[in-house]
Amino acid sequence: MRSGQRMDENTNRKLRKISTNNSLLLILVIGVIKIVQILLKYLSEVGGYGSIWHNNNFIFIVQQVMIYLVTIPLLLLLYYKKLNKEIRFSSVFVKPQRSLGWIFKWSLIALGVSKAFLLIINYLLMFFDISGVTDTISLKSDTFGYSLYFISIVIFGPIFEELLFRATIFRGMNDYGELYAAVMSGIMFGLWHQNVVQMFHAVVIGFIFSLIFAKCRSIHIVIIIHSFNNLIVFLNVISRNSVNDILHSKDLEFKIHALFVKNLIPTLILILTNILTYGMIIAGVILAITEMVKHKGKIGLVDSVFQYTVIQKTIIFFSSPVTIITFAEMIYVVLASITVGSSANL
C-alpha cells in the first residue's frame, strides 16, 4: 500500500512539473511581450517631434522582430535545454506520416469547423452587443502597411505559434494523454489571443491542429494550414477595408458601379474569400460528422500511461501555482478586453 502511494505521489509530482514547465514557458513569453510593448509605448511617448518612434510601421517592425525572432526562439531554447530534455525539438521537422488525401480532408475539417464555430460565436456576441478591444498597433492602409500585416499574420504568426503551441506545449503535456494535451493546449492557445472575439475560434482550431499534428507528427503541415487560414483572413480584411464605405451606402446604383467598376479587384477578392469560407464551413462540418460516425466518436490518440480520470488530471494540472498564475493572467486580459453596449460598435 505504501509502495503504491509512493508511486502515486511520484506520478503526481511528475505531472505537476509538466504543468509548471509548460505554463512557465507561456507566461514568460507573455511577460516578455508585455515588456516589449510597454518599452515601445514609452519610446513613442518620449520621442521628440518627427522621431522614428512615432512611426507606427517602424514600431510594428521592432515589435514583430522582438517577439517572433528573439523572444520565442530564445525561450524555446531555454525550454528544451533546461525545462524538458525528454523531447527533441528537431523531431517535429519530419515528413508527414499521412497521405495527401488525409491531410487535405483534415485541413478542411480544421478550417471548416473552426470557422463555423467562429460564425456562431460572432452572432452570439453581436446579439449581446459584445466586442473585444486589443492594444494592437494601427498600421497604415497602404502597400507597406499591408505588407507588414501580411508578414506578421501569414508568415511569422503561423510558424512561431505552431512551434510554441503544437511542437512544444502540446508535446510537453503528452504524459497527460494526447487528447487531454490537445484540449488544454487548445485552451491555452485561445487565451493566448487575449481577445474574446478571437479566443473561442482559436480554442477550436488549436485543438484540431493538435489532433492533426498528433497524427502527422510533422510541424510543417499545421504551419501550412495555419498560414492558409490566416491568408484568407488577410485577403478578406484588406478587401473589405477597401470597399467598406461603399458597402454601407444606401444608393444601390452607386454601390454597384463603385464595387464592380472602380473597385473590381478588391470586390472580387472579397466575394471569393467569402465563397471559400462558407464552402470550407459546409465541407468541413460534413466531413467532421462523417468522421465521427465512421469512427464512432473515437479520435484514436495515445492515452496517458497513468490511469487517472479527467477530473484527477485537471486537479493535478492546476495544482501548480505557476499554471494558476498563467491562466489567471490570460483570463483577466480576455475579460478586460470585453466591451458591452452601444460603445462596442464605435
- For residue 301, tell me if it sits in a domain: yes
Q: Where are the beta strands (DSSP E) in the chain?
A: 130-132, 338-340
Three-class DSSP category at 340: strand
- For residue 209, tell me if it sits in a domain: yes
Phi and psi of 137, rounded to 5°? -80, 130
Contact at 8 Å (CB) between 320 and 19? yes
* Residue range 277-318, pLDDT digits in tens: 999 999 999 999 999 999 887 888 888 888 899 999 999 999
Q: Residue 2's pLDDT band (boundaries 50, 70, 90)?
A: very low
* Count of structural domains, the chain: 1
Phi and psi of 194, rounded to 5°? 55, 35
- Would you state the pLDDT for residue 22? 97
- Would you state the pLDDT for residue 264? 93
Say how far apart CA 157 and CA 179 lie, in whole Å. Answer: 24
Say how far apart CA 343 and CA 255 lie, in whole Å. Answer: 28
- For residue 203, tell me if it sits in a domain: yes
CA distances from 7 to 11, 12, 19, 23 (A): 6, 9, 18, 24
Q: Which domain holds residue 296?
A: 2-340
* Residue range 197-222, pLDDT digits in tens: 889 999 999 999 999 999 999 999 99
Contact at 8 Å (CB) between 243 and 259? yes
**Sequence letter at residue 181:** A
Lowest mean pLDDT, pick from 127-131, 298-302, 339-343: 339-343
Query: Which of 64, 69, 80, 302 minimizes the C-alpha distance to 178?
Result: 302
- For residue 346, tell me if it sits in a domain: no
In the block, cell 480584411 appears at 237
- For residue 345, tell me if it sits in a domain: no
- For residue 150, tell me if it sits in a domain: yes
Asked whether the predicted pLDDT for residue 69 surpasses 50, the reply is: yes
Asked whether the predicted pLDDT for residue 252 surpasses 70, the reply is: yes
CA distances from 267 to 231, 255, 277 (A): 17, 11, 15
Say how far apart CA 252 and CA 255 lie, in whole Å. Answer: 5
Q: Which three cell numbers stand for residue 145?
A: 502597411
- Would you state the pLDDT for residue 45? 85
In the block, cell 490570460 appears at 330
Q: Residue 249's pLDDT band (boundaries 50, 70, 90)?
A: confident
In the block, cell 514600431 appears at 59
- For residue 236, tell me if it sits in a domain: yes
CA dihedral 42, 47, 52, 54 (to 10 degrees): 70
The whole-chain average pLDDT of the chain stands at 90
Query: Which of 195, 193, 169, 194 minimizes the C-alpha distance to 182?
Result: 169
Query: Which of 275, 265, 262, 320 minimizes the C-alpha distance to 18?
Result: 320
What percentage of the chain's residues is helix, strand, coil (to nearest 5)?
Answer: 80, 0, 20
- For residue 216, tell me if it sits in a domain: yes
